[in-house]
Amino acid sequence: MTRISRILPALFVLACAPALAVADETIPTITLTDGVVSPQQIDLPADTAVTLTVSNTGKTAAEFESKRLRIEKIIAPGQTETIDLPALPAGTYPFVEEFHEDLDTAKGTIVVK
């Protein structure tokens, strides 16, 4: 095996690394921290299936709930879950961290445009 044939695969991986990093940043992420939702609004494109990442960085369990989307997901402290959203029509889809739903900071909206 020549030196070039050993180096080419490594160069290919390095060349693709920036594109892979950019792709990861486009995954919408919601963080739940003991009754605080961040960000409180997520904008998504209409008619496009999306995977949403929900992380619980708090010390207690959290429940991501959207009645309009018919989603309920309990997330243990320190855990991250993914939620596959179907292609949605334009509109607003409220959600709440249900275990702290009495707090304004526990409410959010997914806005599909």
pLDDT tens digits for 96-106? 999 999 999 99
Q: How far is CA 74 from CA 27, 82, 83, 111, in A?
A: 20, 11, 12, 22
**Spatial separation of the C-alpha atoms in residues 103 and 113, rounded to whole Å:** 27
Mean pLDDT score, 63-82: 97
What mean pLDDT, rounded, does the chain reach? 87
Task: Give the pTM.
Answer: 0.76
Question: Coil, helix or strand for 71?
Answer: strand
Omega of the bond prior to 39 within 30 degrees of 0, cis? Answer: yes
